[in-house]
Structure 1
Amino acid sequence: MEFTLVIAVVVIALVFDYTNGFHDAANAIATSVSTRALTPRVALAMAAVMNFLGAFLGTEVAETIGEGIISAPSGQHGLVVVIAALIGAITWNLITWRLGLPSSSSHALIGGLVGAGIASGSVVLWSGILDKVVIPMVLSPAVGFLGAFVLMLAILWLFRRSNPGKVTRGFRLAQSLSAAAVALGHGLQDAQKTMGVIFLALLTTGHVNESDGIPLWVKLSAATAISLGTYSGGWRIMRTLGRRIIHLDPARGFASEAVAATVLYVMAIGLHAPVSTTHTITSAVMGAGATKRLSAVRWGVARGIVVAWIVTIPAAGLVAAACYGLAHLILE
């Protein structure tokens, strides 16, 4: 039974990884598609490849997810906790995808782990959650907004006497690089979260030791699942992020992508923090857009997105807790 549950965890984790890919595909490419820097299919193919490559840039975020959120019980009981957490995260991903809201798959997963952990009586590592989740959750969008705002002001000043047509063409080309950088950062952040969940399941059953690190097959499977999900698209969310918040020009698209990518790399490699790609790029889009004028940003749409951000962790946690209760009755 335990081996069957391990297989179930791996399969469900990869399903979550796939939904993460199509849910968050818009993060990397919405601005480039909306400014016509890239065609949708070319952008998706590029994002899929960069997501795959980004998954191999490190394991710091995976280790935070696997060891820094909850201390799951060993054996079959621990596997049930992980399965419930994953189902809670997948459910919230599908709900927000259906509504076209760019919520955070990362925080859905963290909420699922916390909810299932509380319901099961597992040890929830609140100090780690504060340091690695709550503080970065607030910090990354704030830095994204302010960074994109400042960078865009600098671009406007530097190119104030340049030919507008040449500047637009130049930033369209530059957006190909900045969109690729965001996709690479998305792979670095989000594929590792699935690796961390699988690693947690393997730890609870004694298949690996903490000192062993993430097995290669876990890295390959997580990277493949998120890249396939990315290529399948996420058009509902892409419309929200690319057009409904603000109509971006190539320069503002580049500014938002460049800042978002930088934040993702610093948080993952420097701070080992599993931050939300969605929160970061959306805030950067709003920051770059606000340099036109504050009224150019559709704050009503932005407000709906912020509400989705706030409720993601508790909503996914409640679903996970309910799933744990049901699974506990059936499987244990």
Structure 2
Amino acid sequence: MDPSLLVVVVIVTALVFDFTNGFHDTANSMATSIATGALRPRVAVAISAVLNLAGAFLSVEVAKTISSGLVDDTKIGPEIVFGGLIGAIVWNLFTWYVGLPSSSSHALFGGLIGATWVSAGADSVHFAKIVDKVLVPAAASPVIAGLVAAGATYLVYRLFVRRRGGRGFRVGQIVSASLVSLAHGTNDAQKTMGVITLTLVTAGSLPAGSAPPVWVIVSAASALALGTYLGGWRITQTLGKGLTDIEGPQGFAAQTSSAAVILLSSHFGFPLSTTHVCSGGIVGSGVGRREAPVRWRMAGRMVIAWLFTLPAAAIVGAAAGKLASLGTAGTLGVGVAGIAFGAAIYLLSRRKPVTAHSFTVPEPSAPGSEPDRLAA
């Protein structure tokens, strides 16, 4: 395949991944606000999309980590990046279909690591940086977010809800959900920026260590925002009602805690999983409000999905990267297989669709009353 055409194919594939990242991770920002009735589903995803777009322009530190920190860009080519992206997209679509809020970020890392390892050798993967920048934050972030959310929820209920009735939390939820959306754009859009920049570096179009060009930032931000607007309703259903029963003050505490953790990590260049953080925040808010039962079985299923994300995406990425590295026929074969898988998932999802109309969103109730519920 012509090298220039291959680069275009990889960039388009990266933007497709970014799009799946958007609708896969919409729930991270808006599930609790939808669950409590603070925001209508379509309004929620529209706000989230705009703020994801804006957040993508706030920083490029995470993008630099992706483009120059995880793998040796001198030992791989665009076809390897292409294989890694296919691995990430396949895992994203599968977990979206089954409604599990797994990490799009770790799917991307796994796919890229697997494709690089098999095609260019283990010495092409910077394992020390992966441990430092990916694995340690992956383990620590949901615990930290959960502890912060548990403490914040306890304080909110003790200081405001029980003493003052807790009014005004609908506005607080909207503000905090918006902050999570901004943080998501700041962290997650940069991952696709980093992959596209890595592709341009491996193709010789940019020098090593380059920051993402402006057109890369704009295109990645737009793809993420579009995916967010279409809404990942299956995962929103899981986070909104599957982990715990959520009230307004509780949702406010969970979202604010999650946003703080994500924004701090983006500042230091850690490519954090917003899914891990927000899920940890929701569980923590359930612990902090004693009347809210935490559904630990669902939480356990999510953790299992998290543990499988890196290796599963790495296996698919390894196979796709190896096949793509064999030449034009291999690259085309990987592309056709990826499209076929995506079409199959879409057709399966139409058998039992989950859309914005699947949610019964009541008028916001007074905090402390019977929690608002989502219809299955």
TM-score normalized by structure 1? Answer: 0.95
1:89 maps to what in 2?
88
Structure 1: stretches of 5+ with no match in the other structure = none
1:202 maps to what in 2?
200
Distance 1:318 1:296, change over 3 A: same
1:121 maps to what in 2?
120
1:37 aligns with 2:67: no
Amino acid at match of 1:112: G
Amino acid at match of 1:310: L
1:226 aligns with 2:239: no
Superposition deviation, residue 72 in structure 1: 3.2
2:48 maps to what in 1?
47
**Cα deviation 1:101-148 (Å, max 9, x = unaligned):** 000000000001110111112410011111111111111111100000
1:304 to 297, 301, 309: 301
Superposition deviation, residue 272 in structure 1: 0.7
1:109 maps to what in 2?
108
Identity of aligned residues (%): 48
CA contact (8 A) 1:72 1:117 kept: no
**Consecutive aligned runs of 4 or more in structure 1 exceeding 6 Å deviation:** none
2:240 to 234, 239, 242: 242
Amino acid at match of 2:190: Q
1:318 maps to what in 2?
315
CA distance in 1, matches of 2:224, 2:147: 29
CA contact (8 A) 2:70 2:129 kept: yes
SS of 1:290's partner is helix
CA distance in 2, matches of 1:328, 1:274: 27
SS of 2:288's partner is coil
Superposition deviation, residue 154 in structure 1: 1.2
CA distance in 1, matches of 2:324, 2:203: 18
**Cα deviation 1:209-263 (Å, max 9, x = unaligned):** 2354210000000000000000001000000000011110001100000000000
TM-score normalized by structure 2? Answer: 0.84
2:283 maps to what in 1?
286
Distance 1:110 1:48, change over 3 A: same
CA contact (8 A) 2:152 2:288 kept: no
1:7 maps to what in 2?
8
2:175 maps to what in 1?
177
CA contact (8 A) 1:72 1:81 kept: no
Q: Which has the higher helix share?
A: 1
Superposition deviation, residue 197 in structure 1: 0.2
Superposition deviation, residue 191 in structure 1: 0.3
Superposition deviation, residue 207 in structure 1: 0.8
Amino acid at match of 2:40: T
Amino acid at match of 1:81: I
2:263 maps to what in 1?
265
CA contact (8 A) 1:246 1:298 kept: yes
CA distance in 2, matches of 1:129, 1:279: 17
1:68 aligns with 2:69: yes
Amino acid at match of 2:281: A
CA distance in 2, matches of 1:39, 1:88: 34
SS of 1:103's partner is coil
Aligned residues: 326
1:152 aligns with 2:153: yes
CA contact (8 A) 1:80 1:327 kept: yes
1:80 maps to what in 2?
79
CA distance in 1, matches of 2:242, 2:198: 38
Amino acid at match of 1:33: I
CA distance in 1, matches of 2:148, 2:139: 14
Structure 2: stretches of 5+ with no match in the other structure = 331-376
Superposition deviation, residue 292 in structure 1: 2.9
Distance 1:216 1:23, change over 3 A: same
Amino acid at match of 2:254: S
Distance 1:252 1:295, change over 3 A: closer
CA RMSD of aligned residues (A): 1.4
Superposition deviation, residue 325 in structure 1: 2.1
**Cα deviation 1:285-306 (Å, max 9, x = unaligned):** 0001112338700001111000
Amino acid at match of 1:43: A
SS of 2:158's partner is helix
Q: Which moved more, 1:206-215 or 1:115-124?
A: 206-215
Amino acid at match of 1:5: L
CA distance in 1, matches of 2:304, 2:162: 41
